[in-house]
A = this chain, B = another copy of it.
Amino acid sequence: MREITLSKAVNEAIAEEMRRDPTVFLIGEDVAEAGTPFKVLAGLVEEFGTKRVIDTPISEPGFTGMAVGAALTGSRPIVDLMFGDFIFLIMDQLCNQAAKACYMSGGKLNVPLVLRTNLGATRRSAAQHSQSLHALVAHIPGLKVAMPSSAYEAKGLMKTAIRDNNPVVIFEDKLMYQDKAPVPEEEYLIPFGKANIKREGTDITLIGTSSMVQVAEKAAALLEKDGISAEVIDPRTIVPLDEETILASVRKTSRAIVIDEGHQSYGVTGEIASRISEKAFYHLDAPVLRMGAMDVPVPFSPALEDLTVPTPEAVAERARQSVRGELFDAA
């Protein structure tokens, strides 16, 4: 199968859906001729014109609010938010307006909107351009949240997001845009709420989101050398969350680590870990471990930044401790 970059996969997904459905349009800063600073959208304005690939002023609340209005009235906007960190600027439009319109109207209104943005540190972009803020939107009912972990996932999840009749926030890892993966030429969709078992294993379950799926896979490879068989699960969407697949795996392996690039506290790792701890309680041989990003703003200095995110080595080490039973003593 051909291999394409995550960037190209997203571009293809959007182009295919824009061809299929004339109500889909793109809106955001420098999305047209520039094709975004990451060049993900390059070429789209040439095909679809400036009416459907709309460059905006630097007005994130404004154009997000406009997308909500457009989505309420027969259009299907894709909002391009250049950095995930800017989500703080649009929280009202996203969480008070888009997320609630359907419920507040008793189902009479709905907001088929995609917000595509990104996450991920270690790009030396400092505290306001490196955050992984997906937990915040996952906390708000009415939004769906997708976290692609490869080019293949990015394409399928984006296409599904565009066709979903609800607001969907999709977080791409900005460090993965040049990563390649096999992606079929044929059209495909990836359903929301169905986790992907990336690797089967029997001793411990590693649940990772976004680029942390790769971290988990690398950790699993390290563990294999030690004779430890790790199962790796990619939830794909954290809202809806495929609890069943995760629980089934942990009931089998009896151990789990949840890995996520958002800050550890009050984030994704706590949610998934606590669901496992509650619902697979009887099957656990060790505490469910959490590995989020450190609870610090992302530092600029490379000497510090690399310390803040989970690494394959650190995950493997925690997994070994768990399997060896070392964690029992600590409790």
Contact = CB atoms under 8 A, between A and B. Distances in A.
Contacts of A269: 274
A274 B262 CA distance: 16
Contacts of A273: 270, 274, 277-278
Contact of A296 (B141, B238, B241, B280): B141
Copies in the assembly, this chain: 2
Interface string A311-326: 0000000000000000
Contact of A100 (B127, B282, B283, B290): B127
Contacts of A331: 279-283
Contacts of A89: 91-92
A99 B290 CA distance: 24
A259 to B, nearest CB: 14
B263 A96 contact: no
Interface in A275-316: 275, 277-284, 286-290, 294-297, 299
Contacts of A238: 266
Given A128-B96, A297-B104, A331-B283, A265 B274 contact: no
B296 A103 contact: yes
A139 B262 contact: yes
Given A273-B274, A281-B284, A282-B331, 19 more contacts: A96-B128, A99-B297, A103-B127, A103-B296, A104-B127, A104-B128, A135-B139, A135-B266, A139-B262, A239-B266, A270-B271, A270-B275, A273-B278, A277-B278, A277-B287, A279-B287, A279-B331, A281-B287, A282-B328
Given A141-B296, A299-B103, A288 B265 contact: no
A268 interface: yes
B266 A328 contact: no
A139 B265 CA distance: 6
A132 to B, nearest CB: 11
A247 to B, nearest CB: 9
Chain B CB within 10 A, most for which of A99, A127, A238: A127
A53 interface: no
Nearest to A285: B281
